[in-house]
Copies of this chain bind each other. A is one copy, B any other.
């Protein structure tokens, strides 16, 4: 285990009938708020009403900023920052999944500076302060509700970049599993894939070989994500399974799994971001295509950790380390397929001829994230095995 600092200041309010807390929890930070949400599904399932009633009862003045897209875009963030400044809001309320929360974080940070918010993503500026942020989560996936990360796509440059800062952690996040009952099967599965990707990125890229405490934690979460997602796909209103899936997704990327791992990388996310940036595929759908190919590529060189996963998570009994590793990867891929998440570029309608452009696109992020062992040829080779 390597040295770490862990600080998890986000207050989590989890469970049934908890959305009514958003008003009083937000009022602690000010009276004028910006309400950020997505395409309007929260108006159909009643969550919008529950949130706005609570905000009104707490006496808050609400400026609305709807319309966050599934791969959230920079122009919309900039517009949110303009609104926040114009109305002098004192806090931001995000109601949605990772895309909405990430947009809200970028607005919270951008509202405090005079330079363009994209400079944070290019690594040219660091976040020094931000508006307070409270969240109502409606999708089990990104983990953004308890961490300091944010991912935004710049439509002008076709760049999907992520960055993070301790300060960006939300002050309060409300997680009501019933808010995810109406998430369609496809996005439920993509969310589960995303959470598993967060776990396995850390699991396989830690620079320290001995992290047995974190390993077992991540293995347990992976098992639970697969089991709960399977139940939810059979019965979308299975409260306990929705609760398990939601909490697992939060725990998968709130800093706990990474604490002690030292430097980790996000190579699978790096490659997937190119798929999202150039073909606007849902993040989780892109990940389930990229992951098995990346894992096979990596396991060929260092099979031990992949064999451990295979044995502990998939109960693979194969003695040979490399064969066990491959068997584990196949079982994960089968679970992706069973869950309705794509497993090949063809499933995403992306032609093989697109591979060089995708690989080139990923190089910008490889540089920013310092993933030095990934050149365009390596990424092309991994992408050509996405089948």
Q: Which of B12, B13, B213, B220 contacts A247 (CB 8 A)?
A: B213
The answer, among B3, B8, B14, B251, for a CB contact under 8 Å with A4, is B14
Contact B1 A243 (CB under 8 A): yes
Whether the pair B224, A216 counts as a contact (CB closer than 8 A) is: yes
CB distance from A305 to the nearest CB of B (A): 16
A129, CB-defined interface residue at 8 Å: no
The yes or no answer to A233 lying at the interface (CB within 8 A) is: no
Q: Which of B1, B5, B12, B228 contacts A244, CB < 8 Å?
A: B1
Nearest residue, chain B, Cβ from A1: B243
Q: A4 contacts which chain B residues (CB < 8 A)?
A: 12, 14-15
Per-residue CB contact flags for chain A residues 186-223 toward chain B (1 = under 8 Å, else 0) read: 00000000000000000000000010110011011101
Q: Contact between A11 and B1 (Cβ–Cβ < 8 Å)?
A: no
In the bound assembly, the distance between CA atoms of A116 and B113 in angstroms comes to 50
In the complex, A9→B240 CA distance in Å?
27
Contact among B16, B219, B251 with A213 in the assembled complex (CB-CB below 8 Å): B251
A15-B3, A260-B247 as given contacts; A220 in contact with B213, CB under 8 Å: yes
CB-defined interface of A1-43 with B at 8 Å, one 1/0 digit per residue?
Answer: 1111111110111111010000000000000000000000000
A107 at the interface (CB under 8 A from B): no
CB within 8 Å of B: which A228-285 residues:
228, 240, 243-244, 247-248, 251, 256, 259-260
How many identical chains are in the complex?
2
Q: How far is the CA of A221 from the CA of B215 in the complex (A)?
A: 10
Instruction: Report the bound CA distance from A248 to B256 in whole Å.
Output: 12
Instruction: Count residues of chain A with CB under 8 A from any CB of chain B.
Output: 37
Are A6 and B14 in contact, with the CB atoms below 8 A?
yes
**B16–A12 contact, CB under 8 A?**
no
Complex Cα distance A59/B155, Å?
A: 52
Q: Are A220 and B216 in contact (CB under 8 A)?
A: yes
Given A1-B244, A213-B251, A224-B213: A7 touches B14 (CB 8 Å cut-off): no
Which residue from B1, B6, B12 sits with its C-beta under 8 Å from A12? B6
Q: Which residues of B contact A221 (CB under 8 A)?
A: 213, 216-217
A1 touches B240 (CB 8 A): yes
Interface residues of A (CB under 8 A from B): 1-9, 11-16, 18, 210, 212-213, 216-217, 219-221, 223-224, 227-228, 240, 243-244, 247-248, 251, 256, 259-260
